[in-house]
Amino acid sequence: MAIGALGAAGIAASAVFGVQAALDDHTWSSAARTTTAPSEPVISSGRAGFLPGAGSPSGTGSSATTTAAGTATADQLVGVVDITTVLGYQDAEAAGTGMILTSDGEVLTNNHVIEGATSITVTVLSTGQSYPATVVGTAPTEDVAVLQLAGAAGLDTVQADDDGGAAVGDAVTAVGNAGGDPTSTSAAAGTVTSLDQSITATDETGSDTEQLTGLIETNADVQAGDSGGPLFDAEGEVVGMDTAASTGGAVQSYAIPIDTALDLAEQITAGVDDETVHQGLPAFLGVSVRTAVSGGAAVAGVVPDGPAAAAGLATGDVITAVGGTTVTSPGDLTSALSSYDPGDQVTVTWIDTTGTGHSATVTLAAGPAD
């Protein structure tokens, strides 16, 4: 995603400009995303701040009065975790929610909860125990990620729905780390208002558009920070993963059906690595870029001590090729890097500010989570 005004970090193999935008240094921040599409709402998703939204989606459903969020019960905390991340290239931190899938610490969350993270800490809410976590893999376009807790054993897991999923009119409760406060986990009651909904998500700058489909819509008062948390049915089983919510007009929140999220999680843990599912961390060149007037990817910033810096790239240079593939835009650079893994060597070609051409072989680093 674009880093606020190209202000930090760089190109990862599957992200246009690298990592998330932060609101303030050393504060809980959000990769808030809006959604815009004909007849669809403007939605935000993130960890500590929503963007304005308005409108309502097409399709049929029911409506009900929104109830203010309360505090989660002890039963609702079982298998639920707080996720805190350090966005090292932005000197910032962020927080979200996740669900324990296995007793040895496999955790399901939204991809945007850990996107841009250079380190991740997970706290099990039912015990207060914290663990460092690594990224097993991600499905960025589907907003799903799987983490692994280091040294975890004997953990209680969430219970996924096993009787057909959500239906319009069902009572549900969204549980999560609203506002990034680890001392008070919220529980927002609501009703399923529609199924199979589509939203077009962007980051807070209006770029990096992606579409999420097949979502559960509810009127639960989901807040930033709830992302990645469970949407419980009346039986206390998880029917969805909280993912996005509106902030204008009637409350509308959206969850990925748990069967969909679990299917992607199984692909991640099985080692699938394709256009949708990515293993581990992406390859990282270490630049932020913008479109060059003359074509190519103009370097707007270079990460100190990163691969690009080691090769001699500097602000103002224009990258024209990677691995023999011509680069005419920032998007081309992303596409060119997407076929590489951390540790791979690749030839980068660029033109400096004097018009002199250069070429160097760089070893790609492991970037922040994509």
Active site (annotated) includes residue 58: no
CB 82 within 8 A of CB 203: no
Beta strands in 140-270 (DSSP E): 144-149, 171-176, 186-203, 210-218, 230-233, 238-245, 253-257
**Looking at residue 127, what DSSP letter applies?**
T
- The Cα–Cα gap between 179 and 46 comes to 10
CB 260 within 8 A of CB 107: no
Q: Rounded to whole angstroms, what are the CA distances from 229 to 177, 181, 268, 306, 334?
A: 8, 14, 19, 34, 30
β-bridge pairing 210-218 and 230-233:
unpaired
Could you count the other beta carbons within 10 Å of the beta carbon of residue 182? 15
CB 336 within 8 A of CB 300: no
What sign does the CA torsion over 35, 36, 40, 41 have?
positive
Q: Which among 75, 68, 99, 113 has a CA at the least distance from the CA of 219? A: 68
Q: Which among 327, 321, 329 has a CA at the least distance from the CA of 360? A: 321
Answer left, alpha or beta for residue 182, where phi above 0 means left and psi between -120 and 50 means alpha.
alpha
Question: Which residue among 82, 143, 242, 317 is the active-site one?
Answer: 143
Report residue 294 as tokens.
Answer: 């003359």
Active site (annotated) includes residue 143: yes
- The Cα–Cα gap between 110 and 244 comes to 10
Question: Which residue among 14, 112, 170, 226 is the active-site one?
Answer: 112
Helix (H, G, I), strand (E, B) or coil at 121: strand
Active site (annotated) includes residue 253: no
Could you count the other beta carbons within 10 Å of the beta carbon of residue 237? 17
The label of the residue with tokens 């963007």 reads 51
**Looking at residue 368, what DSSP letter applies?**
S
Q: Which among 361, 303, 293 has a CA at the least distance from the CA of 12? A: 303
Question: Which residue among 44, 186, 194, 227 is the active-site one?
Answer: 227
Return the active site residues. 112, 143, 227
